[in-house]
Amino acid sequence: MKSGELPSLLLLPPPPRPAGPLELSAAYRPTLESVISRLKECKASDGSTLIIALPSPVLSGQFRRHKSLAWPEQQSILAGMYSLVSVVCAQLQVATEVDGGPGSVDARVVLIDHDATKRIAEDFKLAIEPNNTVIVDLATFVAAYHPWKQIFSASTEAGHEQLSTYLRMYEGMQVLNQDQLIKVDGGLTLNKESLDSIPTSLTTTPHSVVCLGGTFDHLHPGHKLLLTAAILLLKVPDEGSAEPCSFVVGITGDELLKNKKYAEFVQPWEDRAMSVIDFLSSMLELQKQGWKAGAAERKITKKDGEITALFRSDTISVTCVQIQDAFGPTITQQNMDALVVSGETRSGGAAVNAKRIELGWHPLQIFEVDVLSAEEITDEPTKTENFASKISSTSIRKMRADSHM
């Protein structure tokens, strides 16, 4: 997390069941509108950072170090949340990209493994206890994510229960004034399915090396969805393991972007790479001293065309590689397991595997992330068009160009 203005927390109640676009909109849109409207008034030079915490029973598994998840379901929820954030920001005319300037809101969705139906013991001890995934439980989230500028919660029964549990665990972490705890409008959650009635999904096999690629110019909700969904696939080793799990992000080099529209407003490669690393720190950094310690102690190494950051006691490695073609490290590094694509770039995944087979290498397992969409959230076509314009790097560059005219 970048230094400067503290981030704010939006603590949401558990998602509805099922968690489709309409259900997520009914449950969370009023809350997001209230929070983003307030943060829009912040005139800090870099805008506001908002961590949207979504606690729900994400992981399965009896033992702490052997957890698994159903990736298709969780990436779908992430896509629904980032779509909803983008629609609300488009409606309120709020910039959504990282470092979007005064009045912008850099929203980051963090999944937390927490079952609200299970009571937390009165004598529990707060500690950071990561498992073999990047997702943490509520106690670990409380211990590592602090301090906050403000804490927002929904003014519903479920929202009140979630906040009460959180504040009981957060006691002693930060002295909070009453005006830092803000209740906002809550939505309507209709659970048509109970947890017991939902069929157990096939769990997703985690991977030691996961990769993806893109330009990541002016990091926006589409990029955030792709990065967040991809790191859910990582198999995190035990502390002290010889090799960390590896997340490889191919980022298009500056030379290939010279002919882009409004190319003069494309961010330099290193800025784009560092923005990716900073964003991922929201999910990967776990320091009991909070944000300040995380940024200060982050291990980063740089060499020509490559930046690597280590997280969680060196168990997770994030490497941003400058790429000059459509394949990047997928055809120069054999020991990769999984490639994450969006619906718009699935043909690129097929091309990568064809090339790897040519080289005599094993093909990568392809995971496809949903494309952000306003469909089923609103029936007003003008809102959909406005939404689309807000999550395009080209449109962001155009707006910056217009502001300089």
More reliable by pLDDT, 395 or 187: 187
Q: Is the pLDDT of residue 383 over 70?
A: no
- Using H for helix, E for strand and C for coil, what is the string for 110-121? EEEECCCCCCCC
Q: How far apart are the C-alpha atoms of 91 and 300, rounded to whole Å?
A: 38
Q: What is the mean pLDDT of residues 217-237?
A: 96
Lowest-confidence pick of 110-114, 294-298, 343-347, 355-359: 294-298
For residue 381, is pLDDT > 60?
no
Question: Which range, 23-27, 237-241, 297-301, 389-393, is most confident?
Answer: 23-27
Identify the pLDDT of residue 389. Answer: 52
The predicted pLDDT at position 69 comes to 94
Q: What is the DSSP string of 289-345?
A: T-HHHHHHH-EEEEETTEEEEEETTTTEEEEEEEESSSSGGGGT-----EEEEEGGG
H/E element holding 209?
strand 209-214
Q: Report the pLDDT value the prediction gives residue 162, as an integer from 0 to 100.
A: 93
pLDDT band at 261; cut points 50, 70, 90: confident
Average the pLDDT over 334-338 and give the result. Answer: 93
Overall average pLDDT of the 194-220 stretch: 81
**Residue 49 pLDDT > 60:** yes
Burial class (CB in 10 A: 0-12, 13-18, 19+), 94: buried
Residue 62 has pLDDT above 90, yes or no: no
Residue 50 phi/psi, 5° resolution?
A: -125, 120
Nearest-5° Cα angle at 76, 71 to 77: 105
> Mean pLDDT over residues 305-323, rounded?
96
pLDDT of 198 > 50? The answer is no
Q: What is the mean pLDDT of the chain?
A: 88
Q: Are 131 and 236 spatial neighbours (Cβ–Cβ below 8 Å)?
A: yes
Between 386 and 399, the higher pLDDT residue: 399
Q: Which of 356, 231, 247 is nearest to 307 (CA)?
A: 247
Average pLDDT for 54-70: 90
The structure tokens listed for 107 are 């929203």
- pLDDT score at 377: 65
Going by C-alpha positions, the residue among 329, 299, 296, 339 that lies closest to residue 316 is: 299
In this predicted structure, the answer to whether residue 328 has a pLDDT above a threshold of 80 is yes
Per-residue pLDDT tens digits for 147-175: 999 999 999 999 999 999 999 999 999 99
SS3 at position 216: coil
Tokens of 58: 């994400």
Q: What percent of the chain has pLDDT over 90?
A: 66
Q: What is the pLDDT of residue 379?
A: 45
Q: Which residue has the tokens 């300089």?
A: 404
pLDDT mean over 190-219: 78
